[in-house]
Structure 1
Amino acid sequence: MFKYLPHTKLDIEQMLQVIGVSDINDLFLEIPDSLKGLDLDVPQSHSELEIYQRFEELAQKNNVLIPFVGAGAYDHYTPSILRHLVERQEFLTSYTPYQPEISQGTLQYIFEFQSVITELTKMDVSNASMYDGATATAEAMFMATNAKKRSQILVSKTVNPNIINVINTYAHYRGLKVEFVAMKNGVTDVDDFTQKNSKEYAGIIVQSPNMYGIIEDLTPYRAILDETKGLFIVNSDISSLSILKAPGEFGADIAVGDCQSLGVPLSFGGPYIGYLATTTKLMRKMPGRICGVTTDSDGKRAFVLTLQAREQHIRREKANSNICSNQSLLALFVTIYATVMGKQGIREAQQKSVNATHYLANQLEQKTSFKGVFKQPFFKDVVLRSSVDPTVLEDVCFDAGFVGPLALERLDSSMKDLYLFSATEKRSKADIDRFVTVLEGL
């Protein structure tokens, strides 16, 4: 075991002495003897053809299921060109572009990613390297409390519970207090927000389309927040902004959310990529990487990492955020998708998803025990009510080759009998009709 270690025997003895261990094998005492020296029964080598055949046999054991659930992760189509390009070695194996002179390609597509985000959000600037929409939202909370020197934040109860869990975790370890604004008829209760809003809070976090797929009216918030100089943080599925009014048009200070719906496969829950965009006034408070464009000594266009505080990478205790890993491969996914699809293509994919979800909801209400709950306009998620047992429903759907809907009581015990459905442009009329037929039997 020492053969591949650069340490000398003396080095190892000194390290063991420091940690109070007499023998290096004592480091592995926690591993049960039954797991040591296992005969893994590794088969003999095979030809390429035999390997392909073996993996095809294994693949036949998989159940390929059709999802009718969203809640923040959507089964949108990924054009084949995406995988072809992102798996090129210069993209797949590259990491953090600290040396701009040899990282121009990586820096350029990060810049293009930021450009896509600012165009969709109508914000001044965007960064890169956000892990997902939930952590991006928590980072926005840090930005707001840091900028306003306030230790409390308001969050709408219509925000996805998974995002709220991340916000609470981040807040706990920064000593921040999270207060919630009530939900009323599936949307944020603006009257409750007006009563709670004060100079104690750095601002409010609102999601639209929200957890229930409902499109929130974000118009009132700017004027209410101006009274207390609070910040307006809007979480949105980025693809929805190809159709809906952008956060910047509502006067948002920070726009955040997930980019998974722009070409990133479901992949059993990740990896995904978030976005964070803000105003020029707040851009120096942004975490993650920010790529800019300039000209070099020869007058040629050049891309650089810019506005990066030294604390971001070295003096971590003084940093606004400790985001370090580079998300550029996922940013490339999004950038290629946006380029290939174009404005019209993204809009059409989302409109087809909206149409499919509305058709699904109508068919379920007409032919099954599921009935509508909220009256507000919804996007590509919809909540319906039924007294059917969640476990029975999930088993029936699974046996028929479907995943979904999501029983909301699994996230919130007060949401008993409520189910969240979703459909995308990949769901054909035949798929939806077959799914509805399965639920008719309940």
Structure 2
Amino acid sequence: MRYLPLTQPDRDAMLSVIGASSIDDLFVDVPEEARLSGPIAGLPNHASELAVERHMTKLARQNTVAGEVPFFLGCGAYRHHVPASVDHLIQRGEFLTAYTPYQPEIAQGTLQMLFEFQTQVARLLGTDVANASMYDGSTACWEAIGMARRITRRGKAILSSGLHPHYVSVAKTMAKYTGDQLETSTPTFTADTDIETLIGRIDADTSCVVVQYPDILGRVADLTPLADACHANKALLIAVVTEPVALGALRSPGEMDADIVVGEGQSIGVGLQFGGPYVGLFGCKEKYVRQMPGRLCGETVDANGKRGFVLTLSTREQHIRREKATSNICTNSGLCALAFSIHMTLLGEAGLRGLAEINHQSACAAADRLAKVPGVTVINDSFFNEFTIDLGREARPIARTLADRGILAGVSLGRLYPGEETLSQGLVVAVTETTTPEDVEAFATALEEVLA
């Protein structure tokens, strides 16, 4: 039985107060093409539980399962091996049902876990401090831009052409309501990053420069010159990491003097899950900590001198006056943060470095093999576990053909940048520890046949 406590007069009264004629007025900001005009096609209005299970199972069988085929998809969501112990531990009752601790000091277990998570993230990103997580990488990226505006009191952010276009899209959506000016561009289909171009665009109105590391095409660059240029103009450098395993092999952005480092933590402990839920990472220099969104857990001692944990900072709109809040991000991705922390603990520093080495070696082997396919060119001079190949013709139909053959070959740039002909021949290929030599050979052989 549905519980609907409000009567129609109740709803009419509330709509009258806010000046809306109907509930539909509350959804005018949602594009019309994204709204349902009727029931979802293919789903009956009423069915028994057994019938629903059968129907959903039938639909699920249309999916290609990542673990059952050669898998080379990446671009911000990566297939890594997650130990079974991670799933076992996060399903313990005290973790699975835990939510935001509104009486935080009572929830010592949750606070300790988040404190350990923050420590791991800060060390990984190379920052002084990290918060208790964000929703995902894209929202963390936008929150960093907003944070830079508060710190610098400037409203222009320069976004690297190598920043994931989905992250750019989220930033544009939010900037419509804050008045921030975002300077964006599309990447060049070459081995060169746009670091020098970004340096030349910084001026006295720039609040921050946002750069992805490695970038959307897998390219790796030294961020130190860019950080120096930002600081010379009193702007901030924001680094975005979509593949945290890379930091087991590469210098962290914090080591290169990035002011704010954000990213997506999905690669560690969290499965692909059809795109979410994921876990956003957020770290910064200590001097900016009071402008950091979200929450920060700290370590202390109680009246008896025993170790304890507290909610140190919580400058979000649920806890203080809304006009004083740094963000209206309402919660952290607690369960995914726990999964991240458990996996990271199981790996340890040596394990993470070893995992990163396996990823890089496997990617190098795959790049060498694919480069031998007639008509294929690897554009990268540097990469971690993700690189871009030029197929010499439009990549999207080739990727679809390979998918029909049971090979998920990569992400076509034409899908990420529709209408950009110069990028349409590009295919971004990701290789992790789950990729076998047999997978690479199957991919290369099928690609040879399709391109012949």
**TM-score, normalisation: structure 1:** 0.87
Q: Which amino acid aligns with 1:153?
A: A
CA distance in 1, matches of 2:255, 2:223: 10
> More deviation in 98-107 or 187-196?
187-196
Helix, strand or coil for the counterpart of 2:183? strand
Is 1:203–2:203 an aligned residue pair? Answer: no
Instruction: Select which of 178, 186, 205 maps to 2:182.
Output: 178
CA contact (8 A) 2:370 2:444 kept: yes
CA contact (8 A) 2:317 2:330 kept: no
Is 1:416–2:404 an aligned residue pair? Answer: no
* Residue-by-residue CA offset, 1:243-295 (whole Å, 9 max, x unaligned): 11111211111111111111210011111111110111100000011111111
Q: Which amino acid aligns with 2:334?
A: S
Helix, strand or coil for the counterpart of 1:119? helix
Helix, strand or coil for the counterpart of 1:282? helix
Instruction: Select which of 430, 438, 444 maps to 1:430.
Output: 438
CA distance in 2, matches of 1:252, 1:40: 55
Q: Which residue of 2 aligns with 1:23?
A: none
* Residue-by-residue CA offset, 1:206-263 (whole Å, 9 max, x unaligned): 1111111111111212321222111111112322111111112111111111111112
Is 1:385–2:385 an aligned residue pair? Answer: no
Q: Which residue of 2 aligns with 1:158?
A: 162
* Residue-by-residue CA offset, 1:23-75 (whole Å, 9 max, x unaligned): xxx999x997999xx77341679xxxxx9x99988876654343212111110
Aligned pairs for 1:114-263 (under 5 A) are 114-180=118-184, 185-236=190-241, 237-263=243-269
Q: Which residue of 1 aligns with 2:308?
A: 302
Q: Could you say if the C-alpha distance between residues 373 and 113 of structure 1 is closer, same or farther in structure 2, counting changes exceeding 3 Å?
A: same
Computing the radius of gyration from Cα coordinates, the structure with the larger value is 1
Coordinate RMSD, CA, aligned: 3.0
Instruction: Select which of 406, 409, 412 maps to 1:407.
Output: 412
Gaps of 5+ in 2: 17-21, 25-35
Equivalent residues, number? 424
Instruction: Select which of 327, 338, 343 maps to 1:332.
Output: 338
CA distance in 1, matches of 2:91, 2:294: 24
Q: Which amino acid aligns with 1:268?
A: F
Query: Cα offset for 1:418?
Result: 1.2
* Residue-by-residue CA offset, 1:364-387 (whole Å, 9 max, x unaligned): 11134211223x211111111113
Q: Which amino acid aligns with 1:166?
A: V
Is 1:78–2:78 an aligned residue pair? Answer: no
Query: Cα offset for 1:388?
Result: 4.0
Q: Could you say if the C-alpha distance between residues 377 and 14 of structure 1 is closer, same or farther in structure 2, counting changes exceeding 3 Å?
A: closer
Helix, strand or coil for the counterpart of 1:420? strand
Identity of aligned residues (%): 37
CA distance in 2, matches of 1:201, 1:99: 40
CA distance in 2, matches of 1:289, 1:330: 16
CA distance in 1, matches of 2:136, 2:40: 39
CA distance in 1, matches of 2:415, 2:138: 19
Is 1:97–2:101 an aligned residue pair? Answer: yes
Helix, strand or coil for the counterpart of 1:116? helix
Helix, strand or coil for the counterpart of 2:305? coil
Q: Could you say if the C-alpha distance between residues 108 and 421 of structure 1 is closer, same or farther in structure 2, counting changes exceeding 3 Å?
A: same
Instruction: Select which of 379, 394, 400 maps to 1:395.
Output: 400
Gaps of 5+ in 1: 21-25, 46-50
Query: Cα offset for 1:347?
Result: 1.7
Q: Which amino acid aligns with 2:222?
A: D
> More deviation in 351-360 or 388-397?
388-397
CA distance in 2, matches of 1:61, 1:201: 48
* Residue-by-residue CA offset, 1:60-110 (whole Å, 9 max, x unaligned): 665434321211111000100011011112111110012123211111110
Query: Cα offset for 1:308?
Result: 2.2
Q: Could you say if the C-alpha distance between residues 388 and 284 of structure 1 is closer, same or farther in structure 2, counting changes exceeding 3 Å?
A: same
